[in-house]
């Protein structure tokens, strides 16, 4: 009996629990379906998912020892989103575009006035003057800005005129003619354009012309990002690198429409190697864009796999010069894609990466930044000493334009160990110094080491010696009687004087090739040039890399070898480094490495290797490329080296007395019009087993011998490096 009572009690409890669950379920369903059904239906149907590109971090640049030279840092940015204005703009079906309400213009003006109060400038690409009476500024606009403006006019059906720097007024479309009650073709003035803009963007009537111009410039930039013509595809930042104080003001003041975000910019960790590192900047025109997209377009046209290839958009940040440009493919990284889902109120309900952004690789250069700094300092001291030696007011005036360059190259593998130019500049203060340095008559932004070419003077003589020996014109024991003034056979009025003859009517007498190099005898090398002939001399010069690309990855000038005019023979003068031949300091240093390698010419290079951003993989390691090989006979090389070694031990003994290694060298001077001669100097060390070759040029330095002390300082810095250590940042790290 008791068992039956327990059974019924349990059954009743289960029934009650079941009924309670059923009632709860019905209640929940009633609430979801009846009470809030419409709301939930709306939310479920208005969920919107969009995709956004996600920029990757640009790769880090280090020196050969892993010392970070360029990295990234995060900065705060401010932009404006009309959709976030509390009083949302009215959506009308006119062309599918948003006509911005007065509340948007008011919110924008308030934000711009705050930026002005805080001393923060902004830029827009609207090619209309900032003040009234308004005028077009097509001549001052970039090619990209003109293209965008043209697309904007076409999109609005205001004009179909092609906008160029020379355009005065774009022709009105029929739509605009009707707007201004005109019946004949007419050019649209900037004042008329601004009237159209005020109407297009709903600018309040109480706005002054100046206030309207401020607001319209920004709204124009934002509208460009919506054009189907792809006039602008990268974000527009109203202000960048803004202080935290401004962000607090934006938050406290409830500046509706203002959006604070962050982005990465380049951070420079050295004042040295500015010309090597280069800078990044926006793609400014279609030509630059086409050049960058050449590989992508070629692959697309051929139907090849586009994986790993990047299509560059206008305004995208890219390397503009230096290694930033040369190694763009390694540094740029791979863009990601983010899917963002929002509800009907614009609130983000989910966010995820469909493609993860991949930071750029870590590029290690061949330079040692500490040694680079020492070379720059030695070069600067040499140039300043030359400037200080000016003897009169005229020379002082000329000294304002002079500079110099130095290149240090590894004999073993043609790695560029240092590449210095003076005057130079700092990448860390580039923006602050731009206006001042751009007016400097000494052209500090010119990379003299690779983009300035100079007559080699007597530094060319070891090359002529090698050519004469290899061609069998002389051997190492042959002697020529150098009588001081070399006469062109058959033409007694054509002569080449030795420097000794010019200075004291002296002569070097009977000398062999080693002695001719040591005493730098013009007579000897004029004869060698004559017997070789210009064509053969130039063939050897080309094999040594003179007048040829060195292989360095950054932009370089190729220089020039002399070419005879019809009926002319300048081979004797070319033989001792004169005539119309010009070479860069890097070419001169590299030619000495070719000589020391027995005629084997490798590609000079700045890239050591590339690793993935996290250091997990080596993406690229440079392998030296043999560009040519003369295969110099050992005895010929030894004779040339002896001549260069004897120069150091005899004529330059006083200058090299404090040099900590043995060396070989050749001095040179080259007259430039009525200016003082340029000083040119090449050397190598150690003498027996050369490791490095050095070339130095100081404009108006008068003689190569005057550069010897600069060369000694560079050699001592290289072979007695500092023991100061430094911390190596993790590869791919985002530094502050």
pTM for the structure as a whole: 0.82
* Strands of 465-602, DSSP E: 480-482, 485-488, 491-497, 509-511, 600-602
Q: Which residue has the tokens 């309400």?
A: 101
C-beta separation of 522 from 492 below 8 A: no
In whole angstroms, give the CA distance from residue 589 to residue 614: 36
pLDDT tens readout for residues 627-674: 999 999 999 999 999 999 999 999 999 999 999 999 999 999 877 766
- Where do the H-state alpha helices sit in 597-730? 634-649, 708-719
Write the CA distances from 403 to 445, 582, 586, 587, integer angstroms. 11, 17, 15, 18
Reduce the DSSP state of residue 664 to 3 states and report it.
strand
| CATH H superfamily, domain 56-363 | Penicillin-binding protein 2a (Domain 2) (3.90.1310.10)
Beta bridge partners of 363: 61, 610
| CATH H superfamily, domain 369-719 | DD-peptidase/beta-lactamase superfamily (3.40.710.10)
Say whether pLDDT at 110 is over 60.
yes
> Angle, nearest 10°, between helix axes 102-117 and 209-224?
100
Cα torsion through 239, 244, 247, 251, rounded to 10: 180
In whole angstroms, give the CA distance from residue 556 to residue 450: 5
In whole angstroms, give the CA distance from residue 501 to residue 516: 14
Q: Residue 366 is encoded by which pair of tokens?
A: 């061949």
Phi, psi at 604, each rounded to 5°:
-65, 140
Q: Residue 617 is encoded by which pair of tokens?
A: 């993989």
In whole angstroms, give the CA distance from residue 185 to residue 51: 44
The angle formed by the CA atoms of residues 638, 416 and 631, to the nearest 5 degrees, is: 30
pLDDT tens readout for residues 511-552: 999 999 999 999 999 999 999 999 999 999 999 999 999 999
pLDDT tens readout for residues 241-254: 889 888 888 888 77
Helices vs. strands in the chain: H and E counts, helices first:
26, 25
Reduce the DSSP state of residue 565 to 3 states and report it.
coil
In whole angstroms, give the CA distance from residue 679 to residue 668: 6
Closest residue by Cα to residue 521 from 507, 534, 533: 507
Better pLDDT: 237 or 36: 237
Domain chopping of the chain, boundaries: 56-363, 369-719
Span 417-422, average pLDDT: 98
DSSP string, 399-451: HTT--EEEEEEETTT-BEEEEEEES---STTHHHHHHHHTT-TT-TTS-HHHH
Closest residue by Cα to residue 278 from 266, 265, 289, 291: 266
89-103: b (≥16 Cβ within 10 Å) or e: beeeeeeeebebbbb
> Residue 233 — very low, low, confident or very high, per pLDDT cuts 50/70/90?
low
Say whether pLDDT at 353 is over 70.
no
In whole angstroms, give the CA distance from residue 467 to residue 473: 9
346-384: b (≥16 Cβ within 10 Å) or e: eeeeeeeeeeebebbbbbbbbbbbbbbbbbbbbbbebbe
In whole angstroms, give the CA distance from residue 262 to residue 501: 70
- Where do the H-state alpha helices sit in 84-171? 102-117, 143-156
Please count the other Cβ atoms lying within 10 Å of the Cβ belonging to residue 714. 26
Better pLDDT: 96 or 568: 568
Query: How many CA atoms are closer than 13 Å to the CA of 54, on its beta-carbon side?
Result: 16
pLDDT tens readout for residues 50-89: 666 667 889 999 999 999 999 999 999 898 888 778 654 4
| Residue percentage of the chain with pLDDT more than 90 | 60
Closest residue by Cα to residue 518 from 705, 383, 380: 705
In whole angstroms, give the CA distance from residue 293 to residue 31: 58
pLDDT tens readout for residues 580-637: 999 999 999 999 999 999 999 999 999 999 999 988 999 999 999 999 999 999 999 9
Pairing of strands 675-685, 664-672: antiparallel
Q: Residue 288 is encoded by which pair of tokens?
A: 């630059």
Span 146-152, average pLDDT: 92
Say whether pLDDT at 682 is over 50.
yes
Span 433-447, average pLDDT: 91
Q: Please tell me the predicted confidence (pLDDT) of residue 349.
A: 64
Lowest mean pLDDT among 51-55, 318-322, 427-431, 697-701: 51-55
């Amino acid at each position: 009996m008791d068992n039956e009572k327990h059974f019924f009690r349990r059954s009743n409890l289960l029934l009650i629990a079941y009924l309670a669950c059923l009632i709860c379920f019905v209640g929940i369903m009633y609430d979801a379906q009846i009470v809030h059904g419409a709301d939930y239906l709306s939310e479920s149907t208005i969920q919107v998912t969009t995709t956004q590109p996600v920029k990757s971090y640009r790769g880090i640049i280090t020196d050969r020892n892993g010392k970070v030279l360029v990295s990234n840092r995060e900065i705060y940015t401010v932009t404006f989103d009309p959709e976030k204005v509390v009083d949302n703009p009215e959506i009308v079906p006119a062309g599918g575009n948003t006509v911005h309400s007065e509340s948007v213009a008011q919110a924008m003006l308030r934000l711009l006035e705050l930026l002005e109060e805080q001393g923060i400038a902004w830029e827009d690409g609207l090619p209309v003057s900032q003040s009234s009476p308004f005028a077009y500024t097509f001549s001052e606009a970039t090619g990209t800005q003109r293209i965008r403006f043209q697309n904007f006019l076409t999109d609005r059906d205001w004009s179909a005129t092609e906008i160029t720097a020379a355009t005065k007024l774009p022709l009105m479309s029929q739509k605009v003619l009707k707007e201004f009650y005109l019946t004949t073709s007419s050019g649209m003035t900037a004042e008329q354009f601004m009237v159209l803009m005020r109407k297009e963007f709903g600018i309040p009537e109480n706005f002054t012309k100046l206030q309207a111009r401020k607001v319209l410039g920004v709204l124009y930039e934002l509208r460009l990002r919506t054009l189907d013509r792809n006039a602008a595809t990268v974000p527009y930042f109203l202000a960048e690198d803004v202080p935290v104080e401004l962000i607090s003001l934006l938050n406290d003041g409830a500046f509706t429409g203002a959006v604070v975000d962050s982005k990465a910019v380049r951070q420079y960790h050295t004042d040295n190697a500015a010309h090597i590192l280069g800078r990044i900047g926006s793609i400014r025109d279609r030509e630059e864009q086409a050049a960058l997209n050449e590989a992508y377009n070629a692959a697309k046209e051929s139907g090849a796999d586009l994986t790993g290839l990047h299509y560059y958009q206008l305004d995208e940040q890219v390397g503009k010069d230096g290694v930033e440009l040369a190694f763009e493919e390694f540094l740029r990284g791979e863009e990601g894609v983010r899917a963002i889902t929002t509800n009907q109120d614009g609130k983000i309900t989910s966010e995820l990466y469909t493609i993860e952004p991949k930071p750029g690789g870590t590029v290690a250069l061949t330079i040692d930044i500490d040694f680079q700094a020492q070379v720059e300092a030695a070069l600067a001291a040499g140039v300043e000493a030359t400037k200080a030696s000016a003897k009169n007011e005229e020379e002082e005036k000329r000294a304002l334009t002079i500079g110099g360059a130095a290149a240090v190259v590894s004999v073993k593998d043609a790695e560029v160990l240092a590449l210095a130019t003076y005057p130079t500049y700092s990448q860390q203060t580039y923006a602050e110094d731009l206006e001042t340095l751009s007016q400097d008559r000494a052209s500090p932004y010119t990379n003299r080491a690779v983009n300035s070419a100079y007559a080699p003077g007597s530094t060319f003589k070891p090359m002529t010696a090698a050519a004469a020996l290899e061609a069998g014109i002389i051997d190492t024991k042959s002697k020529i009687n150098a009588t001081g003034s070399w006469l062109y056979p058959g033409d007694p009025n054509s002569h080449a004087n030795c420097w000794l003859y010019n200075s004291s009517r002296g002569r070097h007498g009977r000398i062999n090739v080693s002695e001719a190099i040591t005493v730098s005898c013009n007579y000897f090398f004029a004869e060698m040039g004559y017997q070789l002939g210009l064509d053969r001399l130039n063939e050897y010069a080309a094999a040594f890399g003179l007048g040829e690309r060195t292989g360095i990855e950054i932009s370089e000038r190729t220089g020039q070898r002399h070419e005879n005019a019809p009926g002319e023979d300048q081979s004797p003068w070319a033989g001792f480094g004169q005539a119309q031949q010009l070479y860069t300091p890097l070419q001169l240093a590299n030619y000495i490495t070719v000589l020391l390698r027995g005629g084997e010419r490798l590609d000079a290079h700045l890239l050591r290797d590339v690793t993935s951003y996290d250091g997990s993989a080596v993406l690229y390691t440079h392998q030296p490329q043999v560009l040519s090989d003369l295969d110099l006979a050992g005895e010929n090389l030894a004779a040339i080296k002896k001549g260069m070694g004897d120069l150091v031990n005899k004529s330059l003994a006083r200058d090299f007395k404090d040099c900590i290694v043995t060396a070989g060298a050749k001095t040179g001077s080259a007259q430039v019009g009525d200016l003082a001669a340029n000083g040119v100097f090449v050397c190598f060390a150690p003498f027996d087993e050369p490791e490095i070759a050095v070339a130095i040029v100081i404009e108006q330095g008068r003689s190569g011998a005057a550069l010897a002390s600069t060369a000694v300082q560079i050699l001592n810095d290289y072979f007695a490096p500092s023991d100061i250590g430094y911390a190596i940042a993790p590869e791919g790290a985002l530094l502050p």
